[in-house]
Structure 1
Amino acid sequence: MTSEPVPGTHNNIGGGIFHGAVIQAGSVGSLTVTAEPAPVPPLGAVAAPSSVFIGRDAELADLLETIRPDGGAVRVGLVNGPAGVGKSELLLHAAHIALERGWFPGGALSIDLQGYTDGLPPLAPGEALGRLLHRLGLPADAIPGHVEDRAAAYRACLEDRSVLVLLDNAGDSSQVRPLLPSGGCAALVTSRHLLPALDDVRRIPLGLLPPGPAGDLLLAAASPDARTEAEMRTARFHARRIAEQCEGLPLALRVAAARIRGETPERFAELAEWMDDERKRLVELDDGERTVTAAYRASYHRLGDDQRLLFCLLGMHPGPRVGVHAAAALADLPMRDVRRLLQDLRNLHLIAGDGPGHYRLHDLLHVYARTRAHEEIAEDVVQAATDRLIDYYLYTADRADRAVAPGRYRLPHSVARPPHMTPDLDDRQAALAWFTEEMPHLTAVLRAAATTAEPARCWLLADALRGYFFHVKAWDSWLDTLDVALGVATAAGEQKVQGVLHNSMGIALIELDRSSDAARHYREAEELFRSAGDAHGVATSVENHAWVHQYAGDHVEALACHQRALDVYEELGARRNVAIVLRGMALAEIELGRSGTAISYLTQALDAFRELGLDLDATMALNGLGEACARAGDTDEARRFHLLALRQSRACGSVFEEARARDGLGTLSVPVSPGRAAHHWRRALLHYEALRSPAAERVRGRLDALPHHVS
């Protein structure tokens, strides 16, 4: 600051950086303010990174590209990700490489902002600036008191220098913004939060390590005491196993490695066995100085009450992947509110996005959330949330089943607590996709329902899954759910329900080529329905039993059973069941050489299925007509029906009926084009094998019988 000099006076003020007015008694002729530069910060101000650094090459390259001297205008890299994912470690590696390359001759400044430090409050921006100014060499009495003045002094100290600033563990944008340098400096920031209010920042997300690098990291950090190649193979095997249990979380991997560092492969196996129990997993991930639980606790305590409650309740979901509708049911909140809370949790990296409308807690966080729920939420609140979740899945599965298998007989029921909203599942393909996506959760919820005060939901959910399991031919999974539900229904003395479940078990068993077991369940079902006075149930059991005879080659007895069931269904006016029986009778007639009668039955069945809008049943009838026409020698009609079935099987999503259509088309193609026959049979074989169908062996034999140059 200068002014016109007053003769005879002159004043110099120096020795530091001044903020605000400088007052001096007497006349001022000229005033010169000078600032003595603070000492250059030492180059060794950055802690040494770990010697084991695996699986982060791409992210490291991105960070270095961001801060290199000729890297462009934006020289601030923000590494964000969940607790324990290795953000600080990545930061240290990038900083050391940059310093070794001479990119920052002014050195480095590093500070932990304590945004997520267990037991410590986040550093206020003013306090953080004060610490940095002190490290820059400013004496305590020269550090301004006001945060804005400290920020100005900080910028002045860094002016004309090339310094790398490391801001670790930031809690929010307000902590970071005053600390970002300019000019020839650059900054690296880590946070569990996305810090959306920061502009001109290159964000580098850091996720969990894939299985391969995760196992390599654990093995390298643990340095097993393996003296032979066989021992090393054992250690490597169990390291991979532990890495899977840690789900690729670097903190968990390093803690686990510390537990067994330098130990024999037997200790690796022992830790892997302990960690198999998810209830003990977080306890085991403690090396005396670091714990995964402590890392999670810091994030958890930053949550508001609503966020905390939802996070805990997500732990009660049976799987780590949860849809927004299921979350709304758990929390008993409208969709707009639960979406906002889920986004909050995502921004804090407590959950991750996993496709449209879905989120995921990785396994360790899922265990932590469930632990917090049981320890901090009243038992009746947890139970009420669990009941709402079961009701959500039952209600939604019932809706989806009506799209997959419209018109089928169902156990009557109503849901006590209908959800606020469900996915749009009126379309068959959408319903099938929902079942496929949610099946692990549906089966887990079914088991949970068996132990509640309303066990009927267990068998009702099993009944709601029938259409999907039959459609995709997932016989083993279907039997597992039916076995649980049957046990619950038997304990409750529900005869009619038991009959329905026995019939379903028979259907699955006969498809697995276990006809004698299927027959036992059908007989049990018939007796139960007869005792309950349920004529429809008796007819269904008899109709199902017809297929035991059909597969055994006794087509006459099969027809007799079909006819008995048909008489009852016609009397009850059950049109869909009548059409299904006619379709079954047609297949028996084909085997008895009466193709004309079979075609008549199948034509009647096809007309009924089309009138009722039952696409899958109609596809089955079309394939039956193809087989009947082939037996009658009408290959053109047979091919037409199989092609119609092929087209419709794709439309309704039936892999089995596509295989069946291709099977028939392959047979029809052999005389005219063995190459085309091989094409169809190969495609059929792939589907049959995937479905574990006994038909696979027959098709494989046909392919083997083709000339070698064709097959």
Structure 2
Amino acid sequence: MSASAADGAGQDAPEQQSGVSGTPRVSGGVHNTVSGGVFYGPVIQGGQVTITAPQRPAGAPSGGFPPPSSVHIGHEAELASLVAALDPAGCPSGPAACLVTGPGGVGKSELLLQAAHTVHRQRRFPGGVVFVDLQGHASGTPPLPPGEALGRLLHQLGVPEQAIPAHTEDRAAAYRRHLAEQPVLVLLDNAHDSDQVHSMLPPPGGSRAVVSSRRLLPALDDAHRIALDVLPPDAAVRLLVEVSGHPGAGAGDPAAAELMRHAERIAQRCGGLPLALRIAAARVRGKQPAAFADLATWLADEQSRLYELDDGERRMTSVLAVSYRDLDQDQQRLFALCGVTPGPRWGIHAAAALMGLPPARVRRLLEGLCGAHMMQEEERGRYRMHGLVHDYARERAGEDLAPSGRAAAVDRLVDHYLATADRADRVLSPHRYRLQDELGLPSGITPELPSRSAALSWLSTECDNLVGICRAAAESTAPERSWLLADALRGYFFLAKAWAPWEGTHRVALAAAERASAHREQGILHNSLGLALLEQRDLTRAATHYSAAARHFETAGDAHGSANAIENHAWVRHYSEDYAGALDEHLQALRQYELLGAERNRAITLRGMSLAEMELGRTTDAIEHLREAGRIFDERDLHLDAAMTLNGLGEAYAKAGDLRAARLHLLRALRLSRSCGSTYEEARARRGLGSASRAVSPRLAVHHWERALHHYTELGSPEAETVRALIAEVRA
């Protein structure tokens, strides 16, 4: 008799298992043999009856499972790791569960299905493959209860509806008996938490489960874990063009190359997130290549980008809304507050400032957001959001936070960045002339900056945020914080030669100072902008700013600022090759600094005078002035100024023909510039060492010049062309 016939013979008999024999009821005896698997239904008594339950075909899925996408690009290493873990023969005692985690839309379900079809084709699981969507992150649908999920799995395993136990515990027991009989692969997609899946994990043996979730599910202690991240740029572009139906794009045709350029822009604005890329591909599928250009333009608007990622059936906003819904109240508040930050990366102290809470309390909230894959800890104490997630946080900030709450959070964030930037600047440039000697801001929410390297690292890491915060400060109820912040950043900008953020912050701050008719502040900002332009050899615009600075300082009665404007303008004359005029203006500024007792500025001016003197053939005077400047800088531990002075001495000795002394000072400049983080002065030292070595060893000269060229090019410095010409000249 077939198993199906046995199943239909009645509903009241107990479960019969293989090897169960009937009891004789009449003379002559009755013999029953039941074998071949687990099945349900009465045992028929009559003569001699043998029932053999047929086994399912080896490797065939019991209830079927969705096919993966026909285009799978990226996550190849993760797929290989998952397939290897799903090998009962290779590691019979290995973990019974594999857990795939990652943010919504990163491709967890796709990876799960790709792996399942791979091992199914290889016939690794004779009991088949069963699949259930646990609906842990479904929009408008609650997570599937474990009992209901077990019922679906038992049905796929061949258990008829009427034989599935009513209680969850009984269903779990029946399920485990099935999985112990022969190896089955269980796919548990979109798990909400560990409790939801515990009863569905296979017992020890050959069966395996693959669980996917947006959460980390820490209680699954023994699971083999695979974390998915966004695709790298090349894979993201390939996925986009393949799914969009333009697989041959970029094959030498100018129109195809243009399409690829727009595809790269789209992929970048999707942040490499596979779901976003597939939605974008659907938006342009079957359309002319010009549709790529339109979509790339639409996605450039951060305010509406999320709403463009909607193909009528899939919406990025829906995916993110479910993840947001699953957060607790405090996590939701922190998430929304992150939407007021200018960028998607920040440190724990910035998050603490947003919440107005101590860092220790905010750390647990951040851990919760990381566990829900709403952000990621990229290094200790520093966090980042995916760009699209940050867009959604901005939306939540606008809708879920009261205007007064948003404004208060922005104020706390501005104060945090201003206080920290000021502390960092005082470490880097302790004797610099500033807009304000003491800011008087609370420092309880600022990170420790115990050293020059720590200050430099913080400023470098936060540079993009600082530009946005300067803009936010200018638009706040206390716009003076924008020019205080810009001024606090000037020392770092000069050290790093970060011209774009230098100009960006100072123009915003200058506009705020103009609205407030703050003359001294305008003078300092004009001076600083002039220096940024001078560094790029934009002499005409630099001179305009220095002239404006002089006018504002005169109106404000600021003698120190007036001397700065004169000293800075001397460099416009220097780079215009008017060395005598430059020396005259240096001397004017020097006399004012001496009257004011401004020793650091006096030393800076002596150093500037020396370069003009070298060009005028007054090398002895130049060396004397550089030595005096170096003494002042050394006394005050002004390492960057000292490195610049040592470079000047190396150049002066080289002009005087003393190459040994030149190399000695340039090597000292090289070491000091490295220790204080000045790539520009390191390049300058390399350039000087190359010139000093040229006559003795052209190969060594080229070595130094190539290193200098690398740094100058990286900085975008106009000196790069001069060094490139020197290398070409020697090689020729």
TM norm structure 2: 0.89
In the alignment, which of 151, 172, 177 is matched to residue 130 of structure 1?
A: 151
> Is the Cα contact below 8 Å between 2:38 and 2:178 reproduced in 1?
no
Q: 2:213 is matched by which residue type in structure 1?
A: S
Q: What does residue 170 of structure 2 align with?
A: 149
Alignment of 1:73-84 (within 5 A): 73=93, 74-84=95-105
1:522: how far off?
1.6
Q: What does residue 171 of structure 1 align with?
A: 192
SS of the equivalent of 1:278 reads coil
> Is the Cα contact below 8 Å between 1:17 and 1:142 reproduced in 2?
no
Q: 2:39 is matched by which residue type in structure 1?
A: P
CA distance in 2, matches of 1:597, 1:241: 56
In the alignment, which of 202, 206, 213 is matched to residue 184 of structure 1?
A: 206
CA distance in 2, matches of 1:413, 1:406: 11
CA gap 1:325/1:61 in 2 versus in 1, 3 angstroms: same
CA RMSD of aligned residues (A): 2.4
In the alignment, which of 621, 630, 649 is matched to residue 606 of structure 1?
A: 630
CA distance in 1, matches of 2:712, 2:284: 46
CA distance in 2, matches of 1:307, 1:666: 57
Q: What does residue 54 of structure 1 align with?
A: 73
Find out whether 1:15 has 2:36 as its counterpart.
Answer: no
CA gap 1:261/1:589 in 2 versus in 1, 3 angstroms: closer
Alignment of 1:55-454 (within 5 A): 55-72=74-91, 73=93, 74-140=95-161, 142-182=163-203, 183-224=205-246, 231-412=255-436, 418=442, 420-454=444-478
1:618: how far off?
1.0
Q: What does residue 566 of structure 2 align with?
A: 542
1:306: how far off?
0.5
CA distance in 2, matches of 1:465, 1:437: 13
1:135: how far off?
3.6
Q: 1:505 is matched by which residue type in structure 2?
A: L
1:583: how far off?
1.5
> Is the Cα contact below 8 Å between 1:225 and 1:262 reproduced in 2?
no
CA distance in 2, matches of 1:233, 1:707: 37
Q: 1:698 is matched by which residue type in structure 2?
A: T
Q: Structure 1 stretch 406-415 or stretch 439-448: which is displaced more? A: 406-415
SS of the equivalent of 1:354 reads strand
> Is the Cα contact below 8 Å between 2:63 and 2:131 reproduced in 1?
no
Q: 1:600 is matched by which residue type in structure 2?
A: E
1:634: how far off?
2.8
1:593: how far off?
2.4
> Is the Cα contact below 8 Å between 1:674 and 1:706 reproduced in 2?
yes
Percent identical residues = 53
1:467: how far off?
0.4
CA distance in 2, matches of 1:289, 1:548: 61
> Is the Cα contact below 8 Å between 2:62 and 2:157 reproduced in 1?
no
TM norm structure 1: 0.91
Q: What does residue 47 of structure 2 align with?
A: none
1:224: how far off?
4.6
Q: 1:170 is matched by which residue type in structure 2?
A: A
1:565: how far off?
1.7
CA distance in 1, matches of 2:262, 2:658: 62
Q: 1:534 is matched by which residue type in structure 2?
A: D
Q: What does residue 29 of structure 1 align with?
A: none
Q: Structure 1 stretch 146-155 or stretch 491-500: which is displaced more? A: 146-155
1:415: how far off?
5.3
Q: Structure 1 stretch 37-46 or stretch 50-59: which is displaced more? A: 37-46
In the alignment, which of 18, 30, 37 is matched to residue 39 of structure 2?
A: 37
Q: What does residue 646 of structure 1 align with?
A: 670
SS of the equivalent of 1:71 reads coil
Unaligned runs of 5+ in 1: 1-12, 19-31
> Is the Cα contact below 8 Å between 1:321 and 1:361 reproduced in 2?
yes
CA gap 1:80/1:409 in 2 versus in 1, 3 angstroms: same
SS of the equivalent of 1:179 reads coil
SS of the equivalent of 1:111 reads strand
Q: Structure 1 stretch 353-362 or stretch 493-502: which is displaced more? A: 353-362
> Is the Cα contact below 8 Å between 2:62 and 2:156 reproduced in 1?
no
Alignment of 1:397-546 (within 5 A): 397-412=421-436, 418=442, 420-546=444-570
Q: 2:14 is matched by which residue type in structure 1?
A: G
Q: What does residue 25 of structure 1 align with?
A: none
CA distance in 2, matches of 1:328, 1:550: 48
| Matched positions, count | 683
CA distance in 2, matches of 1:265, 1:554: 55
1:614: how far off?
0.3
CA distance in 2, matches of 1:561, 1:112: 77
In the TM superposition, what whole-angstrom CA distance separates every residue of 1:552-571 from its partner, at most 9, and x where no partner exists? 33333323222222222122
SS of the equivalent of 1:190 reads strand
CA distance in 1, matches of 2:715, 2:242: 41
CA distance in 2, matches of 1:240, 1:688: 28
CA gap 1:455/1:88 in 2 versus in 1, 3 angstroms: same
CA distance in 2, matches of 1:694, 1:679: 20
Q: 2:202 is matched by which residue type in structure 1?
A: P
Q: 1:199 is matched by which residue type in structure 2?
A: D
SS of the equivalent of 1:109 reads strand
In the TM superposition, what whole-angstrom CA distance separates every residue of 1:641-671 from its partner, at most 9, and x where no partner exists? 1221112111112122222222222222223
CA distance in 2, matches of 1:622, 1:509: 24
> Is the Cα contact below 8 Å between 1:627 and 1:664 reproduced in 2?
yes
> Is the Cα contact below 8 Å between 2:96 and 2:201 reproduced in 1?
no
CA distance in 1, matches of 2:330, 2:441: 22
Q: What does residue 705 of structure 2 align with?
A: 681
CA distance in 2, matches of 1:600, 1:100: 83
Q: What does residue 590 of structure 2 align with?
A: 566
CA distance in 1, matches of 2:272, 2:493: 33
CA distance in 1, matches of 2:457, 2:336: 28
1:692: how far off?
3.3
CA distance in 2, matches of 1:649, 1:577: 20
